[in-house]
Structure 1
Amino acid sequence: MKNFRSFDRVLIALFAVAAISTTLAEVVVWQPCSDEVSVSEQPGCTIHEVRVNPCREAAQGKPCRIKRGRNAGITFDYTPNFSSDTLQNRAYWTRPGGDLPFIGMNLNACNATVCPSVSGQKQTYSYQLSISQSFPARTYDVKWKLWNQEQQECCFVFQIKLYK
């Protein structure tokens, strides 16, 4: 009976930690990438929700304020319209002159989501993005891409505001 009670306590503690972790991430405003396929074609995936931790500003629809030199947790729920054994990912600072890839990111998306991906099956992607101290403090449009070998992709854009 003692073992069962201690197991219950551990289980309750694990659920509490999971609940706290989930509530710290905030649902953010996002948009599909402008280079997505036309409306007449089927998009690469459906993005259901994008969450960023930390992002206290999400409730007001403002860019997430992230301190330089810290990590930001990016999590999103998506349903791919393609199947693939492997997936790649990359974040970009997007701007009118072109996209700059985020340096130092692990490009193997299978470390952040389930592989193989199955068309029509909802999945969750979760990544800890390291924000360098050397990045200038300003507001950025961040483009996030997830794709397979055939260049079928999920893509969305959201904003962050880096500060000192």
Structure 2
Amino acid sequence: MRMLGSLEPLRAGNSPSWVAALLRQPWVMALVRVCLVSAYLIGGITKLVHFDAAVAEQTHFGLHPGWLWAALAIFVEIAGSLCAIFNTFVWLGAGGLAALTFVAMLVANDFWHLQGTARFIALNGFFEHLGLIAALVMLTYLSSSEQRSRG
């Protein structure tokens, strides 16, 4: 019996041959890692270059002191992204990005306090962030599986 959520279909060859061939290419997962963390990396660099705006953003969402939260977000976004991109300490980098995303979900997408269109937009953003967290968990799983199979 196949477990829900396992990678067994890919390993068992249940995917079309062209999909399996594509996924075996070494550049594919590297590109996927870059794409997954691109928003975090660009966000971290942008916050670093425009630190005053990053502080104002944190203060706007009620996070005080704003400079501390901005510096923490910058560090996690850049360092976590680099861990994921270079496939090293993925558990730490992806975990940091997931934790940052979880805080953002609660602070910036508090749909339970809103009404109408604002609620709809925040609800959508909340679940988009939840999807990102799931993708970061999957990246960590795939990275650790890859390392186990090599080691």
More helix by share: 2
- Asked if Structure 1 and Structure 2 have the same fold, meaning a TM-score greater than 0.5 normalized by the shorter chain, the answer is no
The higher-RCO structure (CA 8 Å, 6+ apart) is 1
TM-score by length of 1: 0.26
